Amino acid sequence: MTATERLAELEARVQRDLELTAYPRPTWLTPRQVDGRTVADVAIVGGGQAGLTIAFGLKRRGIPNTVVLDAAPQGSEGPWTTYAAMHTLRTPKGLTGPDQGVPSLTPEAWYRAAHGDAAWEAMTFIPKEHWQDYLGWYRRVTGARVHNDVTVTGIEPAGEHLAVHHSACTTLARRVVLATGMAGNGVWTVPSVIADAVPADRYVHTGAPVDFSRFRGQRVGVLGGGASGFDYAGSALEHGAARVDLFYRRPRVPRVNPFRWMEFYAFGAHFPDLPDEDKWRFTVQFARTNQPPPQSTWYRCTRWDDFAWHTSAGWR
């Protein structure tokens, strides 16, 4: 059986699984219009993995009238095929979540259909490009209404609704969900010690796409020892950099990843139920502990003789 045939068979199983679990079936919100314009029940800003998962979750709960807005072209939502420099996801391949308990929608079900059982068995972490492919497939089979190449510029009250202003028009919605991922935390910034003193063509930020071939034969300095710093160091070396030095402000590289501790049901399912004080305590502890680069990313860099890392090395 070919990959095309396996995927067709899987997609038929997805639809059957959704039919078997579609109780109660009726939608329960009364459609609304304003001046002849349909009001979306929910507008979701961000069409990456979180936005798509939210749209599907609402649909399963009788709220199909959603619209998803994303600034990127179709297939380029999120970091996976734009600025992410790792080879694979950092989470082991058995991860679930977007499927919301529907076995035929899991990454494993899709991967086995798209790439075969042997490829799945041989793999430990899903390649990031394949994850983007999975999200595109998930978007299609769940029927998410996504508008790409649309940049949201503002949200404001509009009577009983919210007006979401964007580059295409204005969308009215009862509720708005911001599913903007890491980009929603603020604007990517370059420290002034670099931006004010170094020509713009001599530095890059890990939050922007880059052609790593520009580093061929060059000496490269990386400021920051997070996972993305190590990813960029590894990519530069793989593309022929003469040497890479990574500067780390902390006195040592962390040995424990607190985020892996979070991967159990009680925490993941009930974190929203915790008092704000406890949420804050968890957040502070995670920040204090910090997060090391994945082991595979560490080896990706340290296998090169032309790589060095420097702890307690702040910059000014």
Query: Would you say 161 and 155 are in contact if contact means Cβ atoms under 8 Å apart?
Result: no
87 and 165 assigned to the same domain: yes
Query: Which amino acid does the sequence have at 61?
Result: R
In what order do the strands lie in the sheet containing 307-310? 219-223, 243-247, 307-310
Residue 282: inside a domain, yes or no?
A: no
pTM for this predicted structure: 0.92
* Geometric angle at alpha carbon 85, from 249 and 141, rounded to 5°: 130
Distance CA 163, CA 218 (A): 49
User: What's the pLDDT tens digit per position in 152-207?
Assistant: 999 999 999 999 999 989 999 999 999 999 888 888 889 888 999 999 999 999 99
Q: Which tokens belong to 59? A: 């649909």
User: Domain span at residue 208?
Assistant: 187-255+292-310
Domain total of the chain? 2
The pLDDT of residue 66 is: 98
Over the Cα atoms of the chain, what is R_g? 22
Cross-strand pairs, 66: 42
170 and 211 assigned to the same domain: no
238 and 198 assigned to the same domain: yes
CATH assignment at residue 98: 3.50.50.60
Q: Which tokens belong to 197? A: 């003193």
User: What's the pLDDT tens digit per position in 238-282?
Assistant: 999 999 999 998 888 888 888 878 888 888 889 899 999 999 998
Last residue of a domain, which of 184, 211, 227?
A: 184
Tell me what the pLDDT averaged over the chain comes to. 94
Query: Which amino acid does the sequence have at 119?
Result: A
28 and 148 assigned to the same domain: yes
246 and 225 assigned to the same domain: yes
Distance CA 89, CA 111 (A): 14
Kindly tell me if the per-residue pLDDT of 315 is higher than 80. Answer: no
Distance CA 102, CA 14 (A): 8
